[in-house]
Amino acid sequence: MEPVVAPSSVVVRNYLGPGDERSLADDVLDGLTKPFKELPPKHFYDARGAALFDEICELDEYYPTRCERAILQARSGDIVAVCDASELVELGSGTAEKTRLLLDAMRDADSLERFVPIDVTEAMVRDCARTLVGEYPGLRVHGIVGDFERHLGRLPMAAGPRIVAFLGGTIGNFTPGSRRRFLRKIARLLRPGVDHLLLGTDLVKDPAVIEAAYNDAPGVTAEFNRNVLRVINRELDADFDVEAFEHVAFFDREREWIEMRLRASRRMRVDIRALDLAVEFAPREELRTEISAKFTPERLSGDLAAAGLELVDVLTDPDGLFALSISRRR
């Protein structure tokens, strides 16, 4: 752990040990030795992956960011009035671009005191902490560089009523069982009658619209997908021929989730020297790199109820593509 105090209003703590950064080695060893190969999506986000994600958010085809921003633009004041919070905790905060709409509303309501971003990408937590204290006079930022699946216990004691925000539809990157377990963990952070969860979820819709969002014409999502192989090459001294993997993204209609995969264009043997591991790929063999679940109102309320949460309100954009829900502990 490395506490760094820049101006006194910023604290950033790093809970990722040097050897276990994002637990990449364990995930690669587990995931690439399975009969159906897979990797968890958190490893996309090194500096290049984070920049590619930002580019994705600006694409015409990628509607979730635009829709969630539209909801926040229209309803942040209402959200802040319902939650009456002085502190905003954000899981997977990234550049916290949309978050500013909430911070603006909290400042306008004269309740804003502290922002607590948590993200695996250190540079993003540090940059966003530094920038935000400049933008919001009097704001304190307690940044956490960590894995929200492992380090929620490292959140500072609440300094006042809290909103825990989990935006962007990132909850969709969990499989159904772990999604409910994770929501339960979040629920346990909330004090009944005091704190609220603000959860962004992408909604089930015409599969063509969803598939276009993950198969953009300029190929940014394909580069983002392949970036995980570059991360493994660099961090684990591996020799993936990155360009020999084709981007695949399709909507699984039964499970109602997008699945992203990387398909080997030919037979390959990859040496992952840091793990002393050789991995064989058959021609056209696929490696699953992400699922992104889409929600119906029933799936959303079912998951929240199973986690011990009660819905306060569900806000959607004018086209009904994306939802932001406010819930509290039952």
Q: Which positions touch ligand AVI (CB under 6 A)?
A: 56, 64, 168-170, 172-173, 214, 221, 224, 290, 292
Q: Is 103 in the site for ligand SAH (CB under 6 A)?
A: no
With CB under 5 to 8 Å by kind, the binding choice for 240 among ligand AVI, ligand SAH, none is: none
Q: Strand, coil or helix: what is 157?
A: coil
Task: Map tokens 């276009």 to a residue.
Answer: 212
Member of 12, 85, 88, 94 binding ligand SAH (CB under 6 A): 94
Q: Which stretch binds ligand SAH (CB under 6 A): 9-17, 87-95, 187-195, 272-280?
A: 87-95
CA distances from 252 to 181, 214, 282, 290, 292 (A): 22, 13, 23, 12, 10
Query: For ligand AVI, which is the closer residue by CB, 59 or 268?
Result: 59
With CB under 5 to 8 Å by kind, the binding choice for 261 among ligand SAH, ligand AVI, none is: none
Q: Do 90 and 165 form a contact (C-beta atoms < 8 A)?
A: yes
Query: For ligand SAH, which is the closer residue by CB, 47 or 282?
Result: 47
Looking at residue 153, its amino acid is: G
Query: For ligand AVI, which is the closer residue by CB, 283 or 320?
Result: 320
Q: What CA–CA distance (Å, rounded) separates 100 from 98? A: 5
119-138 positions binding ligand SAH, by CB under 6 A: 119-121, 124
Q: What CA–CA distance (Å, rounded) separates 330 from 96? A: 28
Looking at residue 299, its amino acid is: R
Q: How many residues bind ligand SAH (CB under 6 A)?
A: 20
**Which residues, listed in sequence order, are joined to residue 313 by a DSSP beta bridge?**
326
Of 226, 238, 294, 296, the C-alpha closest to 270 is 238
H or E element, residue 250 = strand 245-252
Q: Is 167 in the site for ligand SAH (CB under 6 A)?
A: yes
Query: For ligand AVI, which is the closer residue by CB, 211 or 271?
Result: 211
With CB under 5 to 8 Å by kind, the binding choice for 294 among ligand SAH, ligand AVI, none is: none
Work out the widest C-alpha separation in the chain, in whole angstroms.
Answer: 61
CA angle 202, 48, 88 (to 5 degrees): 50
Strands 4-5 and 10-14: antiparallel
Q: What CA–CA distance (Å, rounded) separates 55 from 52? A: 5
Query: For ligand AVI, which is the closer residue by CB, 161 or 176?
Result: 176
Query: For ligand SAH, which is the closer residue by CB, 16 or 112?
Result: 16
Please, what is the end-to-end C-alpha distance for the chain in angstroms?
35
Q: Is 148 in the site for ligand SAH (CB under 6 A)?
A: yes
Member of 149, 223, 256, 285 binding ligand SAH (CB under 6 A): 149
CA angle 89, 95, 101 (to 5 degrees): 65
With CB under 5 to 8 Å by kind, the binding choice for 201 among ligand AVI, ligand SAH, none is: none
Q: Is 170 in the site for ligand SAH (CB under 6 A)?
A: yes
Q: Is 76 in the site for ligand SAH (CB under 6 A)?
A: no
Q: Is 179 in the site for ligand SAH (CB under 6 A)?
A: no
Which spans of this chain sit near ligand SAH (rule: CB under 6 A)?
Answer: 42, 45, 53, 57, 65, 92-94, 98, 118-121, 124, 147-149, 167-168, 170
